[in-house]
Structures are given as C-alpha cells and as structure tokens.
Amino acid sequence: MSTIQRAYKTELDLNNEQITACKKHAGATRWAYNWGLHCKQEEYRTRGTSPSAVDLRRELNALKQTTVPWLYEVSKCAPQEALRNLDSAFAHFFRRCQLKHQGKLRGKVGYPQRKTRKHGLGSFRLTGAIVVFSAAIQLPRLGRLRLKERGYLPTDAKILSATVSEQAGHWDVSVLVEQDHVVPTNQGPVVGVDLGVKTLATLSDGTTEPNPRHLRSCLKQLKRCQRAVSRKPKGSHNRKQAVRRLAALHRTVAHQRANTLHQFTSRLAKTKAVVVMEDLNVAGMLKNHHLAQAIGDVGFGAFRRRLTYKAAWYGCWVIVASRWEPSSKTCSGCGWVDEELALGERTFHCRSPQGPCGVVLDRDLNAAINLAKLADSSPDNANACGEGSAGAGRTADVKLPSVKQEPNTV
C-alpha cells in the first residue's frame, strides 16, 4: 500500500453572486502573479537578486493595508498560491535554460509571462478548510458551492488543495487529494501499440481503436463561428457573444477528445500487463503543416502522459521504444528490415533476400507486433510482469542497436 496524489475535476453550478466572487478571486490571482513578476524583475535589475514567494507574500501583506485594500475581499490563499506558482514558473524556466545549455532541449525555454484576461479568466487555488459533500463543496471565503455531478468527488480522502478554473463561461473545480492506493496484480498480456491517424491505435493482438476525429467533424462549425467573430466590429457586444460561442465549441471538442483518450488509456492500463509504444516525435510532426491538424486532433502527447500515470495506478508497465527503432520496416516474422518501405504502403510484404517467410500483414499491425517483441528484449523485463508494485508504473527506454534513419512518422 502506498499513498498517491490524485486530482478530481468536476463542474460547479454557481449562482450570479458566486460567479462574481470567483471572478474576483481569479482577478486577484492574476494581479498578484503580475505584481510578483514585476517585483522580481525590478529587484533583479537593481540588485541582481530575486525575492522568493515568502518575501513577496510579506510585502504583499503590507501593501494590503495601504494601496490594495480590495485584496481583503478574497481569500488570502489566492494571491499566495499565485506567488508560489510564479516561483515554480521561474524554477521551470531555469531548469529549461540548463537543458538548453546542455543541448538537450530544442524548444523555447519559456520566460514567465504576464497573465492576461484576454485568454480566459484563468484559475485560482485555495488551501485550508475544504469540505466535500456529495453534491457540493465548501471552500474558504466562497462558502458552499453546488456541483453539477453528484458523488464524483471523494468525501473521505485527505484534501490538499482545490483549484477553481474558468473555461468558456463554465466553472470547474479540481480537488487534489492524497489517497491510500493498492496497486493490483496485473495478469494481462503484453501488447505493442502503434499510434496512427487513420486508426487511433493498432494493437499487436489484432484489435484496432478507431479515431473519431472530433476536430474534423466540428471543423465546418468552427470555421463558421470563427468567421462570425471576425466579421463583428472589435469591442462590440455582438463580437463578445460570438467569441463566447466559439469558445464553447472549442471546449466541446477538447472534452470529446479527452474522453476518447481517457477511456482508451484506462482500458489499456487495466487489462494489459505491459504496453510497448513508440516514442513519437510529436513536436517535430506538428511542424509539418499537412499533418499538424490531424495529429493535434488525436492527442499523442496526452495519450502517453495519461497512459503513464494510469499504468502506475493499475500495475501495468509502459515501455517506450526509441524513436529510431524501425518498427514499421521490420518483418515481424523473420526480422528482415525493408529499407525501401514507402510511407504510403499500407501492407507489409516480406521480401527477404534469404527467402521470404511469407508475412503479409497490415503495416500498422506489423509495427505493433514488432513493438510487442521489444518487451522480451528489454533488460529488466523480469520485473515487468505480475509483480504488482515492484515493476509497476515504471517506464523505460528501450534502445536497440539500429541504423540511423528518418525518425518514425505515422
């Protein structure tokens, strides 16, 4: 038995008074974050040092009595947690700077930016006296707020914090709890998973997971909404209304996509003992404008993230194969590597010079079988199966000697 931290997110059912209070909290959070960022920059410029969240909090408490008395209207947690977020934003920035320096990072290092209301009202985090009821949650300063879903939030767990966030006019609360957790013994099979765009995933046991392509099915509607926004004069009420409609549609698509991935990753983690997947170069593929929309619509990054944390809960082991592994080009029957295999060829035919072994398989299925085989060649495979918590939830990179070639695409 071990303790895990887990967040439960659900929608709030607020009245107008409560919405105003939540907006005030989100506003105070944004303000404190921006003020803290300004203080840090100023002090760095003049003295070369940077105040910590604790220093800033002390300074902010003094300011409350003079220039920003309106901060008394919100819970003291909101600005405090904002300053804490700012500290971690800088910590991430410095960590990424170091990675960049070592040449391990290609992307941007991400210097902390000012928060703006333009991209949504944002969120705020509260700690302290939080009580969960079956259909309501009680938060400091905000009081008892109704929930839209009954019985989802755990009532008996130890609550660490609650984060309230706004998206397209909807308010959600995410409750972070600490729970006792027993990792079950997972006796399921070993599967290789080949991710794709035409089908979301092909498993080495021959089953496939369809790709519902939520974005594509809403694209016409989204385009119409987007056009409606750009036709309205800036600053007008009609434009605001059109923006709201567009945001609501984006939210729907995002939720549909998340739902598909949640169901699929949960099923994998609960029923399979070992899952082998490719380390796809998602950031690289997104740079290809022809592929970007289709790939973004699947959510490969979210798939891997969700599968990894769920695997830890359900005693499944995730192996991430190197992106240089020629899983699509290798014959799953005899191991011959077809260097000339084109991206458009959907079926794999074995044409080994030592005599073809007769494998004729769907391209993705062939790749999935090759991935599944990697589980056997993985060095600490002994811990992978059936050992519950000992082998559970770890991820490992499998690096087999293979020739340098184009990174895997879908």
Binding site for Zn ion (CB under 5 A): 331, 333-334, 336, 350, 352, 357, 359
Nearest to 298 by CA among 341, 352, 258: 258
CB of 384 to Zn ion, least distance (A): 27
**Candidate list 81, 87, 166, 194, residue with the active-site label:** 194
Cβ proximity to Zn ion, 100 vs 349, nearer residue: 349
Q: Which residues fall within 8 angstroms of residue 405, CB to CB, at 6 or more apart? A: 324, 326
Distance of alpha carbon 391 from alpha carbon 393, whole angstroms: 7
| CB 328, CB 367: distance < 8 Å | yes
Cβ proximity to Zn ion, 63 vs 360, nearer residue: 360
| CB 31, CB 80: distance < 8 Å | no
**Candidate list 278, 297, 325, 338, residue with the active-site label:** 278
Cβ proximity to Zn ion, 248 vs 359, nearer residue: 359
Distance of alpha carbon 172 from alpha carbon 123, whole angstroms: 9
CB of 359 to Zn ion, least distance (A): 5
Cβ proximity to Zn ion, 127 vs 366, nearer residue: 366
CB of 363 to Zn ion, least distance (A): 14
CB of 191 to Zn ion, least distance (A): 21
Q: What are phi and psi of 309, to 5 degrees?
A: -75, -30
Q: Which residue, chain included where needed, has tokens 């003049």?
A: 46
Distance of alpha carbon 195 from alpha carbon 111, whole angstroms: 33
CB of 370 to Zn ion, least distance (A): 11
Cβ proximity to Zn ion, 75 vs 370, nearer residue: 370
180 is catalytic: no
Cβ proximity to Zn ion, 66 vs 354, nearer residue: 354
The 3-state DSSP class for residue 330 equals strand
364 is catalytic: yes
Distance of alpha carbon 17 from alpha carbon 258, whole angstroms: 31
Distance of alpha carbon 329 from alpha carbon 343, whole angstroms: 10
Sign of CA dihedral 60, 62, 65, 67: negative
* Gap between the terminal Cα atoms of the chain: 39
Cβ proximity to Zn ion, 360 vs 390, nearer residue: 360
Distance of alpha carbon 188 from alpha carbon 113, whole angstroms: 46
CB of 338 to Zn ion, least distance (A): 9
Q: Which residue, chain included where needed, has tokens 């790709």?
A: 211
CB of 351 to Zn ion, least distance (A): 8
Q: Which residues fall within 8 angstroms of residue 1, CB to CB, at 6 or more apart? A: 180, 181, 182
Question: In whole angstroms, how large is the CA radius of gyration of the chain?
Answer: 25
Distance of alpha carbon 38 from alpha carbon 186, whole angstroms: 51
The 3-state DSSP class for residue 28 equals helix
87 is catalytic: no
**One-letter amino acid for residue 303 of the chain:** F
CB of 114 to Zn ion, least distance (A): 58
Cβ proximity to Zn ion, 202 vs 370, nearer residue: 370
Distance of alpha carbon 226 from alpha carbon 236, whole angstroms: 16
**One-letter amino acid for residue 136 of the chain:** A
Active site residues: 194, 278, 364
